A = this chain, B = another copy of it.
Amino acid sequence: MAKKQQNAISPTRGQDYPEWYQQVVRAADLAENSPARGCMVIKPWGWAIWENMQRILDRRFKETGHVNAYFPLFIPMSFLEKEAEHVEGFAKECAVVTHHRLEPNPEGGLVPAGPLEEPLIVRPTSETIIGAMYAKWVQSYRDLPIKINQWANVVRWEMRPRVFLRTAEFLWQEGHTVHATAEEAMEETRMMLDVYADFAANVMAVPVIKGEKTPDERFPGAVSTFTIEAMMQDHKALQAGTSHFLGQNFSKAQEIKFLNADGQETFGWTTSWGVSTRLIGALIMTHSDDDGLILPPRLAPKHVVILPIYRNDEEQARVLEYARKLADEIQSQRFADERIEVELDDRDMRGGEKNWFHIKRGVPIRLEVGPRDVEGDAVFMGRRDLSPKEKTSMKRPEFVASVGSILEEIQKTLLERATSFRDAATTKVDSLKELEEYFAPVKEGFEGGFAYGHWADDPAVTETLKKMKLTVRCIPLDGDEEPGQCLITGKPSAKRVIYAKAY
């Protein structure tokens, strides 16, 4: 009788991708739903990943000339109304504060009391409240540019929340800048898109396509929205970050104006850009497998876990002494110019269970050390990018000397694997029929991928795509400048766009 292959995560990706995702989150203890509807609790292992993302992104923002600040959680309702498209885009998902205290209810419990004269909106994004401050701060061209970022929580009411991907409250950073010229603002918009794309590829090991959004998909109030788009393992696209050129739309609505060098009053040119805890969802769905989370080393809270194995007190003493020394040696090594984080897991727990605990949490390198390894001055290494069964014995000094480069190699492997995966699920389509066939459901539950095809900005296109549950992800910046005809309308098209199903 053939032994059945067992995986740590059930169902597998092929069986039920959305449920697999939830189970990976649970098995890695990253986050869970909270009693406040639509809001998640980010647990310590998930939070440590977000801290790493924050630290690395924050450094890049500072290197590109930005400073951090903090703006209020609440936005007066009237502020939202100033930019017509903006309020249209966010009105349906605003949490509204209407009272400022609670009173005992004569029938028991409490009731809201102290009604506010003007309701306050819990920020869904901060263009309007930050713009109101910028209008005060900007007087002269000498005050420009203003390049400020904030790390904050925002709320967009969600009817169908999914942890990390779509939650009522999420955490993000939002950069907001003002410039004296359109050129400079566009340069900033594109520079931050590059920062995001580089972070995705080289830190998250998630390859992304940089592109511009079509008018339907623009940020409400923006002149143009740029995006980085990643492909998940179910072949669906995930928008991982956006950078908006806002033109003078917000500065006119909010009177952000200045005297230019010639003494003329001019409206500022603004941008905004953000990434959120959604990136953790992208990370999970790009790399993880049917045994759970796989973390790129650059974001792993722990790079190496040491699992001591012993049967009695005498062995325990020898093995732990060896393991502690090993941990110290590894910590003195560097990876990506940072400390290598090591955990010596000496909890009282079955060896197999402990090993799987760390596999499911995605720790890049596991080292088993038992009495025989102590004797042979060796370690028994498992790499999270390889099968759990594939383990290698290495001499201790050899491992210590190469741990940094092994982590580099894992990082590189994950990016290559994700890139190949995406490229294999990418095609060109030249007719509506080809588009339909490409997105016809496939047996394994995964469907389609990225289809490069011609397109025109037309209501008929929007309608057809809506019926097909397809979206235009972006007009790729690096795409071929090869003209053609829109797949749906036959209208002239300058460049292929990416059609895909999307999160």
In the bound complex, do residue A100 and residue B110 qualify as a contact, i.e. CB atoms below 8 Å apart? no
- CB within 8 Å for A36 and B110 given contacts A48-B67, A102-B94: no
A502 at the interface (CB under 8 A from B): no
A402 at the interface (CB under 8 A from B): no
- CB within 8 Å for A73 and B155 given contacts A44-B67, A97-B122, A102-B91: yes
Q: Identify the closest chain B residue to A34 (Cβ).
A: B72
In the bound complex, do residue B112 and residue A96 qualify as a contact, i.e. CB atoms below 8 Å apart? yes
Q: Identify which of B69, B77, B97, B102 contacts A47 (C-beta below 8 A).
A: B69
In the bound complex, do residue A169 and residue B73 qualify as a contact, i.e. CB atoms below 8 Å apart? yes
Q: Identify which of B48, B69, B98, B122 contacts A68 (C-beta below 8 A).
A: B48
Could you tell me the distance in whole angstroms from the C-beta of A73 to the nearest C-beta in chain B?
Answer: 5
- Count of this chain's copies in the oligomeric assembly: 2
- CB within 8 Å for A94 and B98 given contacts A69-B43, A133-B34: no
Could you tell me the distance in whole angstroms from the C-beta of A337 to the nearest C-beta in chain B?
Answer: 14
- CB within 8 Å for A81 and B109 given contacts A34-B71, A42-B69, A48-B68: yes
Which chain B positions have C-beta within 8 A of A152?
A: 153
CA distance A122 to B80 in the complex (A): 20
Which chain B positions have C-beta within 8 A of A102?
A: 77, 80, 87, 91-92, 94, 96, 121
A420 at the interface (CB under 8 A from B): no
Which chain B positions have C-beta within 8 A of A133?
A: 32, 34, 41
Q: Identify the closest chain B residue to A40 (Cβ).
A: B72
Could you tell me the distance in whole angstroms from the C-beta of A284 to the nearest C-beta in chain B?
Answer: 17
Q: Identify the closest chain B residue to A98 (Cβ).
A: B98
Which chain B positions have C-beta within 8 A of A36?
A: 72-76, 120, 129
In the bound complex, do residue B112 and residue A76 qualify as a contact, i.e. CB atoms below 8 Å apart? no
CA distance A40 to B133 in the complex (A): 11
Which chain B positions have C-beta within 8 A of A91?
A: 101-103, 110
Which chain B positions have C-beta within 8 A of A97?
A: 95-98, 122
Q: Identify which of B35, B50, B93, B100 contacts A94 (C-beta below 8 A).
A: B100
Could you tell me the distance in whole angstroms from the C-beta of A20 to the nearest C-beta in chain B?
Answer: 23
Could you tell me the distance in whole angstroms from the C-beta of A353 to the nearest C-beta in chain B?
Answer: 13
CA distance A503 to B32 in the complex (A): 39
Which chain B positions have C-beta within 8 A of A51?
A: 68
Q: Considering the complex of A and B, which 9 residue pairs feature the smallest CB-CB distances, nearest first?
A: A39-B72, A44-B67, A36-B74, A42-B70, A96-B99, A91-B102, A96-B112, A100-B157, A36-B72
Q: Provide a sorted-by-A list of 21 A–B residue pairs whose CB atoms are within 8 angstroms.
A: A36-B73, A36-B75, A36-B120, A48-B68, A50-B70, A73-B155, A74-B168, A77-B109, A77-B112, A78-B109, A87-B102, A87-B110, A91-B101, A92-B102, A96-B97, A96-B100, A97-B97, A100-B157, A101-B157, A114-B157, A153-B153
Residues of A within 8 A of B (CB): 32, 34-36, 39-44, 46-48, 50-51, 67-81, 87, 91-103, 109-110, 112, 114, 119-122, 129, 132-133, 148, 152-153, 155, 157, 168-169, 171
